[in-house]
């Protein structure tokens, strides 16, 4: 380790993002991007005139973007904070609500970034095992005194928690913040947004990277009581006041306003997911019930690591986690029908050789 | 304070960015943006084809951007890390090098964000007074055992530190990191970049927000030994792996490659600064010797707060800091000649009434 590192930096647990190889063209089904381009309305909003103003700072309050998001969810702008992707928003939330004597709990199998951010702020984390079938039992969280983070639907399993379960958690301790990470909610889970005015301890985090075709534009946001949002702004203004790109403010507002395109893309993904699930099951895969834009599946013929490697050799990238309980599985993004057909064809070739 | 806030979040000292009023059109000379549009080559690089790929994540390694920056400064890509503006890079650096028992020192009058970030990570900060004339005496830092942050040129004074002074600091303790924030260096100060291969404890932070017309595109970067850059990447991958916008990677690379436009804009600012300084001095202002794209000036007729308010009433925004030692001054961005002429005309009207 470098002699320059602080003690705190030595303890970090950096996250490994999905690979982005440059050596070849892959069918990329490993980072849960949308296979569709950004909304035509978004493309129209990003004019040359706006680009010519890139010499000027973006609005630190993200006014136009937060207003559009608030309108869409029937909230007020004071219930919204936008960030440079939802990872940044999650970090703001963890710093705002957690610290010495205020730990954080999340599932043993969930988005790996929670662990990285917990280490970033030197927090105590309680990892609570999912049930054998990877479902989440909220009763396991009932007595936890710190902040709770639940990905709904969960990654990498794709499985959802009913809204009523989260409601029980919110009611069990009104002084405890529950962060619901709804990065994938638009593909089929129950959003907690309708409960925001009822529970001031509920923070919902969403992103435009998955269901709104804007992963490269880096727009995430949180929705919650004005009190929680003010707490996140305290952290934002201590970290990076101009956190959202000038063009992304415009692009994000246009994306959230184009409801028709959003519905069309989400519905296409749901259709493709059903098709992919059927094809995988027909080939002996066990597929977890997914409410997300990916499926988590294991083969009865080939282990997860080998499948990942052989698919990569065949020009197809999926995500494999070399971790307890999920080593047998691969996570496959629900791409376009063209991409998924290539995947299934490759599987047929591979499984023939097994 | 909110009952949800962690103890650490209560102690934060959020930064107040320069105002961005929406109630009227102002001559905006308060946030040190460039008055010129982005480089024509940058505009050409941001094609519709690239925008249509915004559904895909940006390259987390910022390969294309870091390579362009490295080429420009005659370094290797391993000597470069890019961020969502230099504020983010500064936060990474503070977390990487500072912590319990490893404090940070900076000037009493300097960029206000250092204080916000120090509070974010709960660090001990030593604020070392500048001399009476606002110059920085490096001997005051010689024995400080933690990380040193020096803005060169300094904000809001615009005054520069000679490279040889920083070299003495680097040599005095090779185990101590010296962060030189060169946000404004391109307007006339001596950059420390040529010393990077010689001192592995030197981190230079720069931004494309000032001299490269890209404030709204959010591109900052740090240059240093591979060891220091690796330390910053540890933090980045614990905070936000996809931190730079997909289009900003392209825009930033194009901006750094358009050397002719960069020189032309910097030289115009230097000319405008000389003109503005002369006009202010002719009207009884004391103007600190600026190497930046702003001047820090005080009038012998009107105090800083009143001047700021009256200029605002006249449609001109400058920055005033209600803080000890600098309350008499206003900071004025060196804008276009058109903007500066409006400013000087307004001053003539105001001073007549005093």
Interface confidence (ipTM) of the complex: 0.96
CB atoms within 10 A of CB A38: 27
With contact defined as beta carbons under 8 Å apart, do B328 and B157 qualify?
A: no
Q: Tell me if A14 and B233 make a contact (CB, 8 A cut-off).
A: yes
Q: What is the pLDDT of residue A30?
A: 96
Q: Tell me if B175 and A116 make a contact (CB, 8 A cut-off).
A: no
B308-349 pLDDT per residue, tens: 999 999 999 999 999 999 999 999 999 999 999 999 999 999
- In terms of CA atoms, which chain A residue is nearest residue B147? A4
Q: Is A245 on the interface with B (CB under 8 A)?
A: yes
Residues B27 and B19: their CA atoms lie apart, in Å, by: 12
Q: Tell me if B9 and A97 make a contact (CB, 8 A cut-off).
A: yes
The residues pairing with B28 across neighbouring beta strands, listed in sequence order, are B317
Q: What is the pLDDT of residue B19?
A: 84
Tell me the nearest-neighbour CA distance from B111 into chain A, angstroms: 13
- The predicted model gives B161-183 an average pLDDT of 98
Tell me the nearest-neighbour CA distance from B54 into chain A, angstroms: 5
Please tell me the pTM assigned to this model.
Answer: 0.96
Mark which residues 254-313 of A lie under 8 Å from B by CB: none
Q: What is the pLDDT of residue A64?
A: 97
- The predicted model gives B129-135 an average pLDDT of 98
Q: What is the pLDDT of residue B149?
A: 98
Mark which residues 26-45 of A lie under 8 Å from B by CB: 28, 31, 33-38, 42-43
With contact defined as beta carbons under 8 Å apart, do B234 and A12 qualify?
A: yes
CB atoms within 10 A of CB B171: 11
Q: Tell me if A54 and B215 make a contact (CB, 8 A cut-off).
A: yes
- The predicted model gives B15-20 an average pLDDT of 85
Quick check: helix, strand or coil at residue B157? coil
Mean pLDDT of chain B: 96
Q: How confident is the model at residue B156 (pLDDT cuts 50, 70, 90)?
A: very high
- The torsion angle over the Cα atoms of residues A342, A348, A353 and A354, rounded to 10 degrees, is 110
B184-222 pLDDT per residue, tens: 999 999 999 999 999 999 999 999 999 999 999 999 999
Short-list A270, A219, A293, CA closest to A31: A293
Mark which residues 101-140 of B lie under 8 Å from A by CB: 101-102, 116-117, 119-121
Residues in chain A: 354
pLDDT at B163 over 70: yes
pLDDT at B153 over 70: yes
pLDDT at B1 over 80: no
Distances (CA, A) of A177 to A93, A172, A193, B309: 10, 11, 15, 42
With contact defined as beta carbons under 8 Å apart, do A14 and B231 qualify?
A: no
pLDDT at B22 over 90: no
Residues in chain B: 354
Q: How many CA atoms lie within 13 A of A33 on its CB side?
A: 29
Quick check: helix, strand or coil at residue A52? coil
Q: Tell me if A238 and B120 make a contact (CB, 8 A cut-off).
A: yes
Q: What is the pLDDT of residue B5?
A: 93
- The predicted model gives B270-291 an average pLDDT of 98
Q: Is the dihedral of CA B155, B145, B138, B270 positive or negative?
A: negative
CB atoms within 10 A of CB A49: 7
- H helix intervals, chain B: 7-10, 40-45, 48-51, 63-73, 86-97, 113-120, 163-172, 226-239, 246-257, 259-282, 304-313, 337-353
- H helix intervals, B20-175: 40-45, 48-51, 63-73, 86-97, 113-120, 163-172
Q: Tell me if A231 and B35 make a contact (CB, 8 A cut-off).
A: no
Mark which residues 182-211 of B lie under 8 Å from A by CB: 201, 209
Q: What is the pLDDT of residue B200?
A: 98
Residues 6+ apart with CB under 8 A from B4: A96, A97, A175, A177, A201, A227, A228, A231
**pLDDT mean values, one per 10 residues, chain A (354 residues):** 90 87 85 97 96 96 98 98 98 95 96 93 95 98 97 98 98 97 98 98 98 98 98 95 97 98 98 98 97 97 96 96 96 98 97 85
Residues B6 and B312: their CA atoms lie apart, in Å, by: 38
CB atoms within 10 A of CB B262: 19
* CA A179 to chain centroid: 13
Region of poorest pLDDT, from A28-32, A134-138, B21-25, B174-178:
B21-25
Tell me the nearest-neighbour CA distance from B318 into chain A, angstroms: 15
Q: What is the pLDDT of residue A23?
A: 67
Instruction: For residue B226, give both structure tokens.
Output: 């591979």
- The torsion angle over the Cα atoms of residues B306, B307, B308 and B314, rounded to 10 degrees, is 110
Instruction: For residue B161, give both structure tokens.
Output: 């530190």
Kindly list the strands in the beta sheet with A285-287, ordered across the sheet, starting from the edge strand earlier in the chain: A285-287, A294-299, A329-333
């Amino acid at each position: 380790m470098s002699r320059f590192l602080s003690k705190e930096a030595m303890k970090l647990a950096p996250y490994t993002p999905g690979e982005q190889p440059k050596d070849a063209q892959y069918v990329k089904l490993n980072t849960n991007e949308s296979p569709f381009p950004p909304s035509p309305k978004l493309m129209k909003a990003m004019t040359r005139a706006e680009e010519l103003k890139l010499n000027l700072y973006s609005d630190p309050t993200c006014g136009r973007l937060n207003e559009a998001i608030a309108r869409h969810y029937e909230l007020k702008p004071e219930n919204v904070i936008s960030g440079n992707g939802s990872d940044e928003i999650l970090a703001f939330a963890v710093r705002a609500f957690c610290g010495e004597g205020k730990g954080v709990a999340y599932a043993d199998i969930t988005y790996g970034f929670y662990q990285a951010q917990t280490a970033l702020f030197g927090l105590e984390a309680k990892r609570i095992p999912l049930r054998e079938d990877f479902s989440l039992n909220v009763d396991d969280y009932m007595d936890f005194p710190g902040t709770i983070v639940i990905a709904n639907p969960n990654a990498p399993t794709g499985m959802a928690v009913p809204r009523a379960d989260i409601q029980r958690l919110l009611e069990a301790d009104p002084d405890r913040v529950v962060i619901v990470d709804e990065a994938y909610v638009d593909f089929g889970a129950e959003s907690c947004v309708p409960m925001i005015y009822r529970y001031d301890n509920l923070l919902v985090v969403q992103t435009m990277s998955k269901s709104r075709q804007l992963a490269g534009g880096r727009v995430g946001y949180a929705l919650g009581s004005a009190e929680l949002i003010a707490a996140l702004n305290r952290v934002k203004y201590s970290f990076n006041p101009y956190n959202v790109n000038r063009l992304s403010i415009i692009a994000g507002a246009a994306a959230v306003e184009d409801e028709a395109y959003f519905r069309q893309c989400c519905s296409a993904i749901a259709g493709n997911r059903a098709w992919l699930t059927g094809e995988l099951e027909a080939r002996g895969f066990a597929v977890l019930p997914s409410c997300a834009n990916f499926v988590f599946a294991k083969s009865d013929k080939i282990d997860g690591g080998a499948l990942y490697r052989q698919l990569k050799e065949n020009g197809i990238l999926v995500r494999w986690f070399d971790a307890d309980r999920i080593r047998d599985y691969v996570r496959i993004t629900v791409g376009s029908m063209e991409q998924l057909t290539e995947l299934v064809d490759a599987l047929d070739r591979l499984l023939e050789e097994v």
